[in-house]
Amino acid sequence: MAAMNRDEAYALMLEHTPSESLQRHMLNVETAMRWYARHWGEDEETYAVTGLLHDFDYELHPEEHPTWGVTYLRERTDASPEILDAIMGHAAYTGTPRTTRLAQTLFAVDELTGLIQAAALIRPDKDVRGVELSSLKKRFKNKGFAAGVNRDEVRQGAEELGVDLDEHFQNVLTAMQAG
């Protein structure tokens, strides 16, 4: 059986995620994951699938996320164990260790894409291409801005990746701006 591809992951995400804002979040995470895959010479398709599916169960099964989704994927798809572990590990409360670069990348980009999207949405044109690193850093320090973004997890994610926080901000911002 061939590994799950991006088109299959995208269809599954749409099927289980009614909210356009959550769909956009998963697409943003996919974009950042692809950027890092290229950066490290890793498999883009694996990173893309992981980004697209990491929250696909969140809306319909919030109390069981991500366990419900990982069980579903394990039983009904050919998603690799590496993808399943990364999805479990992106939710710190599961206690799943992030032992692969894939898992560390998902954890590192997940919350940060939310901050960047929020920074774009307050712009008059709502365009992420106009967000600047200096503005993003300022918004990150303001805990009242995008209060749902876990700043400690953003810092921890960059640290686990071994990337300077400012560099990580720029990497994810560059990825999202390139779309």
Q: Report the chain's mean pLDDT, rounded to a whole number.
A: 96
What is d(CA 170, CA 172) in angstroms, rounded to the nearest whole number? 6
Average confidence (pLDDT) over 70-81: 96
What average pLDDT does this structure show over 74-102?
Answer: 96
Tell me, what DSSP letter sits at residue 100? S
Helix (H/G/I), strand (E/B), else coil: 72: helix
Residue 143 has pLDDT above 80, yes or no: yes
Q: Which two tokens stand for residue 16?
A: 């289980």
Residue 3: the pLDDT is 80
Are 84 and 70 in contact, with CB atoms under 8 Å apart? yes
How open is the CA angle 56-60-65, to the nearest 5 degrees?
Answer: 60
Task: Check if the beta carbon of residue 147 is closer than 8 Å to that of residue 59.
Answer: no
Q: What are 116-138's pLDDT values in tens digits?
A: 999 999 999 999 999 999 999 99
Q: What is the mean pLDDT of residues 91-118?
A: 97
| Residue 153 structure tokens | 């997890």
Model pLDDT for residues 12-59, shown as the tens digit of each residue = 999 999 999 999 999 999 999 999 999 999 999 999 999 999 999 999
- The phi, psi pair for 149, rounded to 5°, reads -80, 120
- Supply the pLDDT for residue 2: 54
**Can you give the pLDDT at residue 1?**
43
- At residue 26, the pLDDT reads 98
Q: Which helix (H) or strand (E) holds 30?
A: helix 20-40
pLDDT at position 38, please?
Answer: 98
* Residue 173 tokens, joined: 């911002």
